[in-house]
Structure 1
Amino acid sequence: MSKPDYSALLDDEVRAYIARGAEFYPPDAVDLTITQQRAVYDDMCAAFHAPYPEGVRTWDEDYGGVPCRRYEAGTHQVTLIYYHGGGFVVGGLHSHDDVCAELCVRAGVRVISVDYGLAPEVVFPGCYNDAFSALAAISEEFAGPLLMAGDSAGGNLAAAVTHHARAHVAGLVLIYPGLGGDPTKGSYIEHADAPELTTRDMLFYQTIRTGGAVPPKDDPRYAPLQDTNFTGLPPTVIVTAECDPLASDGESYRDEILAAGGRAVWFNEAGLVHGCLRARHVSARGAAFFDRVADAVSTLAKGDWPY
């Protein structure tokens, strides 16, 4: 298989976005210490942080003993629980703060962002336990329909907790999630050396996530694609980036849900890279990607399925 020509696949705006991010978070960031990685990631997030849309209010409060941030812009009947990306190692309430604020307004939902414990201080299944504890407490606090969403590592958590609480979740939106797909085929091979995320990066994050232990097998808390039961899952929208080793996970997950008789749709957006939520204000393709995500949340919040 010939290597992708990223100079042709990515347009000028996306390449400029990648270059801007690299000023803060270098391509070889996994070679830094964990403390250094978090510092440069936080610097990058701050550089791209956008102002809140008008009318958004926030509260920092715990749910299930887990720190969370709640976003409101008016009166909301639907609650979206959001799990941030960052390889289970970096990120937090600050890293996706503006994304959550914009989703609140664009989709017309209450958003609660979950600050689950990060590795290496908290190793699997600690992050899953935090994610599920927050879900359980939030579902008791708010009576309306409950949606789940997350990007990258957060997409893994959103899917994992949904598998264990499927009867209580009205919809699921996954943004370039890592779901434990087959690393020997598809995008894992074609885009192994993609900008922003490589298979080498993924191996590093996996090692830190488990504390160096062998990754568990047949445990959907760790890898939702390892589940043997995909029946009864809520309507699911998966949005991935073409130039990302994780893109095939979206296709595989869609196929599993469809095979089990459920509703799922997968969009693999051309000319984009892992982490492109952050490109939504500097790239037309990034803006269209975020439109896809916001529209999915809004659609599921209304109980519609136009796909």
Structure 2
Amino acid sequence: MSKVLELVQPTLEAAVVRGVFALPKPARRLLAGRAIRLDDQELALDAQLLLKLMRLAGHEQLSAATPEIARARMRRSTKITAGQVPGVVVADRRIPTASGDLAARLYRPRELSEPGPLLVFFHGGGWVIGDLDSHDDLCRFLAKHAGIRVLSVDYRLAPEFPFPAALDDAIDAYRFVVENAAELGTSPDTIAVGGDSAGGNLAASVALHATRSGLAKPVFQLLIYPAVDATARRRSRELFANGFLLTDGDMDWFMNHYAPEEDVRRDPRLSVLLAEDLSGLPTAHVVTAGFDPLRDEGEEYARRLAEAGVPVIARRFPDLIHGFANLRSIGGRFQEALFEIVGTLRAGLELQKA
């Protein structure tokens, strides 16, 4: 019976969450409480309501006593927030690397038959948690509404495989796509990279590596609230240290697993913001969230790219929290933001063709 309850409970919780979000706005405001204003920003009602539900459920942070427990929590939350994106064809793939095969998933809008742009996507999760399933809904959404192919890569996780294992996998996966572009429905000159949080870090580092190494560089970078500096604590990390999904403690926990030696954290392959030369990098769309500890480092990276002559579309969603891209299916505000991101991605890729 306990096994049955374990399987059924996430479905019941998902139904409760969707029921709450379907309530009229005054009822949702009553449940969420008085609007939260901080740093001249007001937290979106959808975000505040979700955080309230998480507190009631006892899930106020992403870290846990062990990586295994944190990973299990993410798998459970994925079942609660999973949505439906019809019209997307999905195929499991394997990517050979020097360290062994990586699992991957290729997403394609059903109506897309001609070769075209492909986004190599790296999931978030602090390099410790997350997998293909945790970002399946997001990748389906990107493929469907940007009208492109998306290849999601399941890189090795820390602490079992600390830095630079995840990056090595990301670079190997990108190289595989470049070398097998035709078979994947694309060409070397229409490949983009992207990711959220830790995945945004990997995407930015892959773009830097490709540009400097002579490997065909990506045509575009989609960096969604990326982690780009493991050496400094900026103002946003202090302002939003607790209570907004990703916490200050979570950041320490993730980094202590991924790069436990502090000297390593200055490596520009990890802290890409510290790279001396950012010139020549691909056009970037840098997305940040107002109530996110990572906000300021992401925005500083966007400024440094622009100063280096890189075309940058920087967009802060001032009313949202870290992780909002994975919450599309439960709150209208999250989906609105994601539609805007997809629109920018689509336009950015179209401009690269011109």
Give TM-score scaled by structure 2 length: 0.79
Residue 269 of structure 2 aligns with an amino acid whose one-letter code is R
Asked whether 1:26 is paired with 2:65, we answer no
Assess, with a 3 A threshold, how the Cα gap between structure 1 residues 12 and 257 changes in structure 2: closer, same or farther. closer
Q: Does 1:96 align with 2:129?
A: no
In the alignment, which residue of structure 2 is the partner of 1:265? Answer: 313
C-alpha distance 149-39 of structure 1, shift in aligned 2 (>3 A): same
Amino acid at match of 1:51: Q
Instruction: In structure 1, list runs of 5 or more residues that go unmatched.
Output: none
Measure how far apart 1:71 and its partner are. 0.8
Matches of 2:121 and 2:131, distance apart in 1: 11
Structure 1 residues 125, 263: CA separation in 2 closer, same or farther (over 3 Å shift)? same
Counting aligned pairs with the same residue, the percent is: 29
1:148 aligned onto 2:189: no
Distance apart, 1:200 and its partner CA:
1.6
Q: Compute the displacement of 1:26 (Å).
A: 1.4
Equivalence for 1:195: 244
Once the two structures are superposed, residues 122-160 of structure 1 have per-residue CA deviations (whole angstroms, 9 ceiling, x without a partner) of 100111100100000011111251111100000000001
Equivalent pair of 1:53/1:102 in contact (CA under 8 Å): no
Which protein shows a greater Rg?
Answer: 2
Give 1:114's aligned residue. 153
* Runs of 5+ unmatched residues, structure 2: 1-33, 182-186
Q: Is 1:86–2:125 an aligned residue pair?
A: yes
Give, in whole Å, the separation in 1 of the partners of 2:228 and 2:235.
Answer: 14
Shift of 1:298: 0.8
Aligned partner letter, 1:45 = T
Q: How far does residue 278 in structure 1 lie from its aligned partner after superposition?
A: 2.2
Q: Are the counterparts in 1 of residues 194 and 200 from structure 2 also a CA contact under 8 Å? A: yes
Give the counterpart letter for 1:57 in structure 2.
V
CA contact (8 A) 2:88 2:140 kept: no
Amino acid at match of 1:42: R
Corresponding residue for residue 303 of structure 1 = 351
The aligned residue for residue 36 of structure 2 is 7
Q: Partner of 1:58 in structure 2?
A: 91
> 2:128·2:157 contact (CA, 8 Å) conserved in 1?
yes
Give the structure 2 partner of residue 71 of structure 1. 107
TM normalised by structure 1 equals: 0.91
Q: In structure 1, what is the equivalent of residue 270 of structure 2?
A: 222
Contact 1:24 1:41 in 2 (8 A): no
Aligned residues of 2:155 and 2:170 also touching (Cα < 8 A): yes
Deviations 1:263-295 (CA, angstroms, capped at 9, x unpaired)? 112111021111011222332321222012211
Which residue does the alignment assign to 1:172?
221
Return the offset for 1:189.
Answer: 2.4
Of stretches 138-147 and 191-200 in structure 1, the one that deviates more from structure 2 is 191-200
The aligned length equals 300
Once the two structures are TM-superposed, the CA of residue 217 in structure 1 deviates from its matched residue by 4.9
* SS of aligned partner of 2:137: helix
Match of 2:82 among 45, 49, 53: 49
Counterpart residue number, 2:202: 157
Cα gap change, 1:28/1:172 in structure 2, threshold over 3 Å: closer, same or farther?
A: closer
Instruction: Write the letter of the residue equivalent to 2:292.
Output: D
* Aligned-CA RMSD value: 2.1
1:63: how far off?
A: 4.7
- 2:292 counterpart residue number: 244
Is the Cα–Cα contact under 8 Å of residues 196 and 274 in structure 1 kept in the other structure? Answer: yes
Q: Which has the higher helix share?
A: 2
Matched, 1:281 2:314: no
Distance 1:6 1:175, change over 3 A: farther
Specify the code of the residue in structure 2 equivalent to 1:203. Answer: D
